[in-house]
Structure 1
């Protein structure tokens, strides 16, 4: 292949199409993060989430309105820059060794498309036992501020303890409230650097195909999440459901949280399926937990 502006343009278009093919082919399994995250469009370097606090329920309007002020908690999520770059030697382009590189660019699209899963599950959710959320407590902690049925302040735990493989019971029934946040500032963009006058071509005889994006992940509502490293069995699962389901607002009304998804890694997949899908338990009795939540198997959780 003779390297000309026209052939480079054709090559760039083909590689861009290959990148998008790989990026768009990941499907629902590749976009598992979307199931657990509030997706927020960001327009600044960072976004503030001070509004994520407990609000009272609806009250009968007697006398003046009771204004629930949105107090700032100082919780911010800062956008991060991300990149992925492939280098292809100019002689390989000239010699028409393109088929393998088209596959490589498709793989690049797949890798970039799946990165939010890594960011959300491995780098955020798994670190919830040792990283603070908007209330200044660890996201999974034993002494969050909660309320009882009388509206009195109490201590509430969404951490099950233990030291084994982690698992999580999440309420994903609210599209506008989720346990985690995915904040998009700039979607991935495929950019070639292939001009003969570009330093990489001039000095290294190498064409570069890079991707740039800006986004971040962080913690949302801990009230919708329970995390544990205890052995995943029926008793531990029942305790998680009870913890989530017995939460109240500052006025004593029910928060109405229910565990809809049991999120596990491959190591806990069998246990999750026994609890949620089997008709009988180990003793042969009716499995009362069958169908009470959906299993979500996430490779990044191990």
Structure 2
């Protein structure tokens, strides 16, 4: 196939079709655990994180809530992936062999938010969140007049698992999107220095975004063994959480997230109606199970 404007248009259509079909067909899970926030600048500041109060009876003047101020900023980053087709492959009508590369590029673009978001859970035992403490920690400061230490973790040495509350408007994590991933191309040897010098036709995808830690109150991390006792303790601890004013937050966890090594234990915990001794399993379908390969 001659490399001319008409044939390049046909080739670009083939590449775009492979990319878009794979993108639309791929699945992603990040929206279940992360608040999606559109970004219009180089970085977003989340001063509202941690500020929570309830509706009250209106007696006298309104009470203006001036809670703790936080300066948690998430900077956008640029990400890209680029693939090329040798011009000789186009000349010899062999470019079809490269279409799986662009289908994979489309799938990668769709799954990338998962790849960036879910590891935040695994790193949450050391990475700091808005209150200056690790996201999963034993002494988050809670309270305005009297400050108490609150835990959202269990210590241990095993593979981590995570209990999350995801049914609220605000989710445990943040997905910040500045520019959607978009396929671009450099294919014309008459206008592209790269094609002229290397004889490679290029297609690439790029975007600007980032992921960050949100409300620790909506997540519980554990490295203890995943069993009924530890699961129940984590669930109870989340439901007992209070805001800075001392009022219950009303958190009810609904999702258990595990990596590959905890799948069997999670299935026994949540999907078996009876325990090994025949006793009824009170944790049966207590929460949903999400298996995440990005936690491997």
TM range (shorter): over 0.9
Q: Structure 1, unaligned stretches of length 5 or more?
A: none
Match of 2:142 in 1: 146
1:273 aligns with 2:267: yes
The normalised TM-score by structure 1 is 0.94
Q: Give 1:61 shift.
A: 1.2
Counterpart CA distance in 2 for 1:146 and 1:73 is 13
- Alignment-derived partner of residue 88 in structure 1: 85
- 2: CA distance between counterparts of 1:200 and 1:270? 51
Are the counterparts in 1 of residues 85 and 95 from structure 2 also a CA contact under 8 Å? no
Partner of 2:2: 2
- Mapped to 2, the partners of 1:156 and 1:108 lie a distance apart of 43
**Offset at 1:22?**
1.1
1:236 aligned residue: 230
SS of alignment partner, residue 189 of structure 2? coil
Alignment match of 1:113 (pick from 110, 117, 135):
110
What does 1:35-46 align with in structure 2 at a 5 Å threshold? 35-46=32-43
Structure 2 equivalent of residue 183 of structure 1: 176
Is contact 1:147-1:247 (8 Å) kept? Answer: no
The answer on 1:132 being equivalent to 2:128 is yes
Aligned CA RMSD, in angstroms, stands at: 1.5
Structure 2: runs of 5+ lacking an equivalent: none
How many residues are aligned here?
295
The offset of 1:192, in angstroms, is: 0.7
Counterpart position of 1:16: 16
Aligned 1:44-59 pairs, distance under 5 A: 44-59=41-56
SS of 1:287 mapped into structure 2: coil
**Is the contact made by 1:23 and 1:106 (CA closer than 8 Å) also made in structure 2?**
yes
Tell me, what secondary structure is at the counterpart of 2:58?
Answer: coil
**Cα distance in structure 2, aligned partners of 1:56 and 1:116:** 31
Residues 247-282 of structure 1 deviation map (CA, whole Å, 9 limit, x = unaligned): 112333211111100000121111111111111123
Q: Per the alignment, in what secondary structure is the counterpart of residue 162 of structure 1?
A: coil
Contact 1:170 1:226 in 2 (8 A): yes
Is contact 1:82–1:212 with CA below 8 Å preserved after alignment? Answer: yes
Give me the whole-angstrom Cα distance separating, in 1, the residues matched to 2:278 and 2:185: 61
Contact 2:51/2:68 (CA < 8 Å) preserved in 1? no
1:256-271 to structure 2, matched below 5 A, reads 256-271=250-265
Residue 72 (structure 1) shift: 3.5
Quick check: 1:163 aligned with 2:160?
A: no
